[in-house]
């Protein structure tokens, strides 16, 4: 046998070494895969094998300060498809299109996509969901979903805001408190093969969603109704472009009401409420449509700026009084204009002659305030403008707040600028800044952070987080505050604000009328009328600001906004059970106090006569009524003492003695039942919570306004 040569042995050694080296590499790689990367690879494999569909959490409820639900989530359904599991997509598309009223071709394209799961339609009705489930089509699944619902339509729209189709907050507190309201999504998980077909051996798992927390607003639903009703009436009466009303608690900074008219319905935030406007929007391009949406969604109270006019005089007066307490003894002479500023003439509304500091406020005298501004000086004027919060955001928890426009420094304030700023021109502010300044004067001199949310609560009502009232800084002394309130009371009793006078309630306030600025110039014939008021001045409970943008005809703040302030203040103080205290002069005018009778459940003819016989008047919110229209509720409530001649608000059934058909409520949620029965304007009694399982009368029965409706609900 021939002995292997040396070269052959070397080749054998090389091959053996190479084999050993490769074996070691493979062994090392195997160890790396099996030991060091096993968890990572296992996770990757699971991700390939499993497919998941999000299960949306229930969004938290938004309550008013007394527990009234202003925004809720109602049950809806979403239809999903697993394309790989569908055997006859054309037949399936045809069946589903009939139920969902969708284009058959669009559904077919979705059913044949190369994806694991595909959404067919979101927010289908309960009836549609039931029909699809009855078909029992493999690869078609109906998942319980939820959508945001605002039970009172356009009520408090600029506070609440709205959400997108995925329940993410877009505007209002829905946006600013989205992280609390949203919750954590759940998952519907199933295992599939490479062709996206569900594997039979591992089944499927559902991981429940964690519902969002709820928030409690500072808004009082009743006071908000007062503000919205007054704003809407003013919008119609004065044919205005906008009307804004803010009601605030002076000592906590709580926003009790914030109303802007015209507004929108958060349930359909991209549709105007006005039918003629809807028709106009049908012809707009997408870009034009978006501009219209953004314009409609603007919250005038915080997103827009305006020249305050004479309401700003309370800031000038308070600042001058704080710096120079003896200014109360000063006298100012008004001959109708200021002519000593080079190149300009600044006019007053009248020739007031000689007047004290307080009288100058009562008369809203421009000439006097030019001189008060001069006494204050540029440095102190700018210092107090900033101290009162102008030129900075107030910190209110609503999106898009503007800072306003104030002088950047003392050096840019010329003589004419100081003069015009003293009576509220040449400066731009937001409504929320203006009422915050009034509140500062009313509460003893503390600038408050406006509060819109009181607390966050969990699903069981436990408080998770509280937002306490916050003082931003001290601006005025207690004495200055007290003196200013007395001066503002005089402006109501004897000055330009007399139309906001309410016997027994000691109202203090200031009117304002300013030309409107459009594109940087004063617009001819366009004005903003405003009125800021607080009551009672000796123990402030409520501050109110009313702004009427572009009123038609008469445009003076006292004439236009004064009656609105009176309406909101009177309703609110009565509701808060603040007792009127009459002075001797007022007492003489009151013939006697009358106890309001109970006229509920009576025909309007009978109830109206009973009120008239006692010397009381009444109003209703409906125009088309008959003598048989039934009174469902009244305000003030029975037993309250009012002055003879007072107005009683009566709330009627819309269709007296009208017969209607009892709807089918079975299976519907609390919110759905309430909405349906409220729309019918009938009285009802709900027992339990959850879904309606029993109703009396039965569906299809003829009912009228006097029917006793009972619905039993069970939590499933």
What is each CA distance from 443 to 433, 483, 573, 674, in whole angstroms?
15, 12, 17, 40
Question: Choosing from 73, 310, 364, 394, which is the catalytic residue?
Answer: 310
The dihedral through the CA atoms of 123, 129, 135, 137 has a sign that is positive
- Reduced to 3 states (helix: H, G, I; strand: E, B; else coil), residue 65 is coil
Residues 6 or more apart whose CB falls under 8 angstroms from that of 605 comprise 627, 628
Q: What tokens does 335 get? A: 């001959």
Residues forming a β-bridge with 258 = 246
Give dist(CA 513, CA 550) in Å, integer. 11
Contacts of 131 (CB under 8 A, 6+ apart): 99
Q: 525 — alpha (psi -120 to 50), left (phi > 0) or beta?
A: left
* CB of 693 closer than 8 Å to CB of 706: no
User: How many Å separate Cα 334 from the centre of its chain?
Assistant: 45
What angle do the packed helices 378-387 and 366-376 form, to 10 degrees?
A: 100
Is 310 a catalytic site residue? Answer: yes
List Cα–Cα distances, 63 to 151, 233, 453, in angstroms. 12, 26, 10
Residues 477/445, Cβ–Cβ less than 8 Å = yes
Residue written as token pair 């709330």: 651
As beta bridge partners, residue 685 has 710
- Three-state secondary structure readout of 492-552: HHCCCCHHHCCCCCCCEEEEEEEEEEECCEEEEEEEEEEEEEEECCCCCCEEEEEEEECCC
Residues annotated as catalytic (active site), given as ranges: 310
């Amino acid at each position: 046998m021939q002995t292997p040569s040396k070269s052959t042995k070397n080749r054998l050694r090389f091959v053996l070494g190479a084999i050993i080296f490769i074996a070691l590499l493979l062994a090392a790689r195997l160890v790396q895969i099996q030991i060091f990367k096993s968890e990572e690879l296992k996770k990757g494999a699971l991700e390939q094998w499993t497919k998941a569909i999000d299960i949306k959490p229930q969004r938290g409820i938004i309550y008013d300060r007394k527990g009234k639900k202003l925004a809720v989530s109602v049950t809806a359904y979403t239809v999903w498809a697993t394309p790989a599991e569908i055997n006859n997509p054309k037949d399936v598309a045809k069946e589903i299109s009939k139920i969902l009223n969708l284009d058959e071709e669009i559904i077919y394209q979705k059913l044949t996509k190369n994806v694991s799961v595909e959404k067919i339609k979101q927010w289908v009705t309960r009836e549609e969901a039931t029909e699809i489930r009855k078909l029992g089509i493999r690869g078609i699944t109906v998942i319980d979903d939820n959508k945001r619902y605002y039970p009172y339509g356009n009520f408090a729209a600029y506070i609440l805001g709205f959400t997108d189709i995925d329940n993410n907050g877009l505007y209002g507190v829905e946006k600013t408190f989205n992280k609390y309201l949203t919750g954590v999504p759940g998952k519907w998980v199933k295992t599939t093969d490479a062709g996206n077909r569900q594997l039979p051996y591992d089944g499927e798992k559902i991981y429940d969603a964690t519902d969002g927390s709820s928030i409690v607003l500072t808004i009082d639903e009743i006071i908000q109704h007062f503000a919205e009703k007054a704003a809407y009436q003013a919008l119609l009466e004065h044919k205005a472009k906008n009307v804004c009303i803010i009601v605030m608690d002076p000592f906590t900074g709580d926003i009790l009401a914030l109303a802007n008219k015209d507004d929108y319905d958060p349930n359909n935030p991209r549709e105007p409420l006005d039918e003629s406007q809807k028709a106009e929007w049908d012809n707009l391009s997408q870009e034009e449509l978006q501009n219209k949406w953004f314009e409609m969604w603007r919250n005038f109270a915080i997103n827009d700026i305006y020249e305050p006019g004479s309401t700003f005089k309370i800031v000038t007066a308070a600042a001058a009084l704080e710096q120079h307490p003896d200014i109360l003894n000063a006298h100012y002479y008004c001959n109708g204009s200021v002519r000593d500023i080079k190149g300009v003439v600044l006019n007053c509304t009248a020739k007031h002659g000689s007047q004290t500091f307080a009288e100058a406020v009562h008369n809203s005298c421009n000439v006097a305030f030019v001189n008060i501004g001069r006494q204050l000086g540029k440095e102190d004027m700018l210092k107090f403008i900033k101290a009162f919060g102008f030129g900075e955001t107030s910190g209110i928890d609503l999106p898009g707040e503007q800072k306003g426009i104030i002088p950047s420094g003392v050096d840019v304030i010329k003589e004419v600028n100081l003069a015009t700023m003293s009576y509220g021109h040449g400066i731009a502010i937001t409504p929320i800044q203006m009422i915050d300044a009034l509140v500062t004067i009313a509460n003893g001199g503390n600038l408050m952070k406006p509060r819109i949310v009181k607390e966050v609560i969990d699903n069981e009502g436990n408080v998770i987080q509280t937002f306490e009232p916050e003082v931003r800084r001290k601006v005025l002394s207690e004495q200055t505050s007290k003196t200013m309130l007395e001066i503002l009371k005089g402006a109501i009793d004897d000055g330009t604000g007399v139309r906001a006078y309410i016997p027994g309630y000691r109202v203090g306030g200031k009117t304002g009328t300013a030309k409107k600025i459009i594109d940087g110039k004063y617009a001819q014939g366009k004005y903003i009328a405003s009125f800021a008021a607080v009551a009672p001045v000796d123990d402030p409970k409520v501050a109110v600001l009313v702004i009427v943008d572009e009123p038609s005809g008469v445009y003076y703040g006292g004439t236009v906004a004064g009656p609105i302030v009176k309406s909101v203040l009177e309703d609110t103080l009565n509701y808060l059970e603040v007792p009127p205290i009459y002075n001797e002069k007022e007492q003489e005018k009151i013939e006697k106090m009358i106890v309001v009778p109970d006229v509920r459940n009576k025909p309007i003819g009978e109830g109206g006569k009973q009120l008239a016989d006692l010397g009381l008047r009444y109003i209703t919110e409906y125009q088309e009524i008959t003598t048989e229209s039934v009174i469902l509720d009244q305000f003030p409530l029975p037993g309250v003492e009012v002055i003879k001649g007072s107005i009683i608000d009566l709330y009627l059934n819309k269709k007296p003695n009208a017969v209607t058909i009892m709807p089918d409520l079975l299976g519907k949620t609390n919110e759905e039942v309430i909405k349906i029965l409220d729309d019918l304007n009938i009285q009802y009694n709900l027992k339990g919570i959850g879904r309606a399982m029993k109703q009396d009368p039965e569906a299809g029965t003829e009912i009228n306004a006097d029917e006793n409706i009972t619905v039993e609900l069970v939590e499933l």
